[in-house]
Amino acid sequence: MPNRRSYYGIDSRDMHPRISQNFTYVSSCVKYMIFLLNFIFWLFGGLLMGIGVYAFMDKLQSTGWVRLETFYDVILNISLVMIIAGALVFIVSCAGCLGALRENTCLLKFYSMCLLLFFLLEMAVAVMGFVFPQNMQSFLEESFTDNIIKQYRDDPDLQNLIDFAQQEFKCCGLSNAGYQDWGKNEYFNCSSPSVEKCGVPYSCCINATDISSGLVNIMCGYSVQQQSVAAASKRIWTSGCIEIVRVWSERNLYAISGVALGIALIQLFVIYLAKTLEGQIDLQKSRWNS
């Protein structure tokens, strides 16, 4: 039997380049870039979840109850949405951090799969919003108008969000009915025994704040539901917020598209980094096993 040395006295192993024992296929740059990015989002997710828990407990103590009977009760509960969103960001980014730091391909696959799922959902919403804006508007009006209007006074966080949106976008109500949407609320309904009957929230008013005193006039929207659109428009904004937001989006389409494209490219880049690190780790494992 001929030994491993050739007839010319040269070891066959010398014919192949030797790899140092300290050599690794895993790039430190890729590894720690993924770790750093996800560490930042991990902190953000924990902060968001903490704020949501604090707001939820504060609301529970102040109101004594939180209604969570339907799907709409959950998604319209701002503090609960913050908890769920924070938990998702916390878990996914934690998987990215540990997967990169410990070079664990299972965690990295879970991480990249979650990012891809988020990306596809965002793309689906973007396509519906930009390609079929009227259909999206109709869906939002039919699905959320009644629930949001009816829960206005039941949830302080939702109330603050609605007031902020109506003041910022200069609108009143949600659907094409505009300010007449508030007739669906038990406090603003014209058959209500409340002093606010046939009225709208102060955030609908064109001039809700008294210039001389600087105080908000919460009575500025009283009884406007009994007035025509022309008469009411002198005191309040009459158009629904969904239509106003749609028009605003169309006017700022290029800016919104640019931001959305930037976010999408960042997500794809991070997914690419995760898949690259997975491949490098598998290559390193195959070297150890050989």
Tell me what pLDDT residue 290 has: 61
Encode pLDDT of 4-18 as tens digits: 444 444 444 444 445
Encode pLDDT of 211-230 as tens digits: 556 677 788 888 899 988 89
Nearest partner of 222 among 251, 248, 246, 195, judged by Cα: 195
Q: Which of 2-11, 51-60, 82-91, 177-186 has the lowest mean pLDDT?
A: 2-11
Residue 216, beta-bridge partner list:
209
Tell me what pLDDT residue 170 has: 92
183 pLDDT exceeds 50? yes
140 pLDDT exceeds 90? no
More confident residue, 256 or 17: 256
81 pLDDT exceeds 70? yes
Tell me what pLDDT residue 282 has: 82
In the predicted model, what is the mean pLDDT of residues 264-275? 92
pLDDT band at 44 (very low <50, low <70, confident <90, very high): very high
- Domain locations in the chain as residue ranges: 27-148+254-290, 170-240
More confident residue, 64 or 268: 268
Tell me what pLDDT residue 132 has: 80
Residue 205, beta-bridge partner list:
236
Q: What percent of the chain has pLDDT over 90?
A: 37
Full-model pTM: 0.77
Mean predicted lDDT score pLDDT of the chain: 84
Tell me what pLDDT residue 212 has: 58
Tell me what pLDDT residue 12 has: 44
Please classify residue 62 by burial: count the beta carbons closer than 10 Å to its beta carbon, then call 0-12 exposed, 13-18 middle and 19+ buried. exposed
